[in-house]
Structure 1
């Protein structure tokens, strides 16, 4: 059961922007990194396929958090904006469909790292990136200002993409994905919402592990 504070606390919608920044970066890098994989390099294909699935997990959880915590509270009191909120929900479905299509092509490529399979996969990833960018742009321009207006709702729970049911390494990776391009004030805000044990775990284990993983993943990134 939610507390009264959860309904009345003014949201920090900048947290959502920080999450979106990380999602945009990872969607772009997936296109670039997979396009650069040499035919037959199955080890690299498996590495990037695993990364795609972690990215998909984080993005899906982020959208589930919005569906559960943000849209219902906006729809109830802001009837004039119902069309906007419903458009966000439809866009979530389009993003999910683009991820499913990419996953199917990724599975075919992952087995052999074939050139034809890679070249078939990249357009699906590019389409996902395009659909995601459209959604995030619309959400930031039209929906987040509503959350700062007459409706006070905690968006942090929907925004940080940290599903509790998953293992700590994945949680720490999602946190690193969010924090990577955050400025010092944004980083402090996100970390302040974690318990002390979580902050200590991030600094001692998560941050160095995230740095190692991204160095390995991005060794052929362009631009």
Structure 2
């Protein structure tokens, strides 16, 4: 019996991830600027959230460097210039995310929040750089991934990111990705669930991200 044909990697999932990072990074400068001295609980909540987003972006890029680019270089001869270009962008983003993470750590220890504005400006710089990079990646790299990688290789790449998450972080990530899906993409995700799993998702899972977002924005 013939083996079923490989349907190829589901690269649309990366586009959804990019929407999440774009959305969160765009909101981050405002969240930092709105912090007020004396509200320690909210300061920890907001800085923790922004820090997690920035760290997630850094890990996202590192996984691509470690797993995707070597496969593309091995499959395409000569390797397209775009691979080297996005690698260089990752190096620049990594340096910037490291600076942002340090700024957020310092801000957490700054009782008077004097570092709010410099930190917000760094976050704006990161947001703009990450947005330009992700647009380039979606235009030039994802078509190469779709053509030259298998679905199994893509699943292994995605599994690396999932493996570093706790159960709570996985629930948050799934709910957040769902929120950034289009209605058609959401319908496809739900169609893959059993009736029981879909019911549990509708009752609990899909609300994890909106509830977190409401806390972050003080609603």
What TM-score bracket applies, with the shorter chain setting the length? 0.7 to 0.9
Aligned to 2:162: 163
Range with bigger deviation, 136-145 or 178-187: 178-187
Aligned pair partner of 2:92 in 91, 94, 101: 94
SS of residue paired to 1:12:
coil
Aligned to 1:218: 217
SS of residue paired to 2:9:
coil
Map 1:41-80 onto structure 2 (within 5 A): 41-80=39-78
Q: CA RMSD in A?
A: 3.0
Q: Distance in 1 between matches of 2:201 and 2:163?
A: 15
Q: 1:95 to 1:200 in 2, by over 3 A?
A: farther
Q: Is 1:177 matched with 2:211? A: no
**Unaligned runs of at least 5 residues, structure 1:** none
Q: Distance in 2 between matches of 1:197 and 1:62?
A: 31
Q: Distance in 2 between matches of 1:148 and 1:52?
A: 31
Q: Distance in 2 between matches of 1:213 and 1:89?
A: 33
Range with bigger deviation, 74-83 or 197-206: 197-206
| Runs of 4+ off more than 6 Å | 192-201
Q: Is 1:39 matched with 2:34? A: no
Q: Is 1:138 matched with 2:133? A: no
For the pair shown, the structure with the greater C-alpha radius of gyration is 2
**Unaligned runs of at least 5 residues, structure 2:** none
SS of residue paired to 1:114:
coil
Q: Aligned-pair distance for 1:218? A: 2.0
TM-score of the pair, normalised by structure 1: 0.81
Q: 1:84 to 1:182 in 2, by over 3 A?
A: same
Aligned to 1:148: 146
Q: 1:166 to 1:181 in 2, by over 3 A?
A: closer
Q: Distance in 2 between matches of 1:133 and 1:98?
A: 13
C-alpha contact 2:51 2:104 (8 A) present in aligned 1: no
